[in-house]
């Protein structure tokens, strides 16, 4: 009787282990590893800096152009954009966020309450999610979700020192087709509408972003016409004096 009871107990334990749900963190890390591999794998290790340029359209009617530079090692990045002849510059140097408006005045933001949002923006701009060894983050699998009739594997990424963001991965290609988050002032939904291969690495070719702040909603399309992994002068990524 004792021996039989032990057998039943062991069988019950084995059954419980076999049906235990997968750990969300382990599942998230596995899917992110697939995402990295689909994006370029080992080729990503050699990347240092980039320069991209192209066109943007706000709310379907305001045309603009942009140039963006970034560092995959520090998350420092700078964007210069011009809409209707008005140019503005903004960036993040790894410590503070900064902006340079049409009036030529520099504005430095080192407020601890707003920096997590700025750091998230830098994390996304420099593809920080593809470099978990450089930029520590947790990746929690939230399960599959459907948007616009498509099914995605959704992962909540929480970079160190930054706000969280949801990365929606295509189960077939393992690439990110959608992201959802907040910068602390507005919520945003980003949709990748096409990729391009640059030196064996997949980068976005076209995207659409929707921002909501209170009762206001704005959209912005982005067409990246050039994208190069090339040296960037250090002063390009620094706040203006």
Burial level of 158, CB count in 10 A (0-12/13-18/19+)? middle
**19, 24, 30, 31 alpha-carbon torsion, rounded to 10°:** 110
* 241 residues of the chain, pLDDT tens digit each: 445 554 444 444 445 455 566 799 999 999 999 999 999 999 999 999 999 999 999 999 999 999 999 999 999 999 999 999 999 999 999 999 999 988 888 899 999 999 999 999 999 999 999 999 999 999 999 999 999 999 999 999 999 999 999 999 999 999 999 999 999 889 999 999 999 999 999 999 999 999 999 999 999 999 999 999 999 999 999 998 7
Q: What is the pTM of this model?
A: 0.89
Domains in the chain, CATH or no CATH each = 24-237 (2.50.20.10)
SS3 108: strand
- Whether residue 94 contacts residue 78, with contact meaning beta carbons closer than 8 Å, is answered with no
Q: pLDDT value at position 133?
A: 96
> Which sign does the torsion angle of CA 8, 11, 15, 17 carry?
positive
């Amino acid at each position: 009787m004792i021996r039989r009871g032990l057998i039943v107990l062991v069988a019950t334990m084995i059954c419980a282990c076999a049906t235990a749900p997968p750990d969300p963190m382990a599942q998230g890390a596995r899917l992110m590893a697939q995402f990295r591999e689909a994006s370029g794998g080992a080729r990503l290790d050699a990347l240092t800096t980039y320069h991209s340029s192209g066109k943007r359209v706000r709310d379907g009617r305001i045309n603009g152009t942009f140039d963006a530079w970034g560092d995959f090692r520090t998350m420092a990045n700078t964007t210069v954009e011009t809409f209707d002849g008005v140019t503005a510059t903004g960036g993040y140097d790894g410590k503070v966020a900064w902006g340079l408006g049409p009036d030529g005045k520099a504005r430095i933001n080192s407020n601890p309450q707003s920096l997590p949002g700025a750091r998230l923006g830098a994390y996304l701009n420099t593809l920080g999610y593809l470099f978990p060894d450089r930029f520590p983050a947790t990746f929690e699998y939230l399960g599959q979700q459907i948007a616009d009739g498509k099914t995605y594997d959704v992962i909540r990424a929480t970079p160190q020192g930054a706000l969280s963001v949801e990365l929606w991965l295509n189960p077939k290609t393992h690439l990110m087709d959608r992201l959802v988050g907040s910068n602390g002032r507005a919520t945003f939904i980003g949709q990748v509408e096409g990729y391009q291969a640059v030196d064996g690495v997949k980068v976005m070719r076209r995207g659409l972003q929707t921002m909501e702040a209170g009762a206001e909603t704005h959209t912005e399309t982005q067409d990246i016409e050039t994208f190069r992994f090339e040296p960037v002068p250090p002063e390009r990524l620094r706040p203006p004096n």
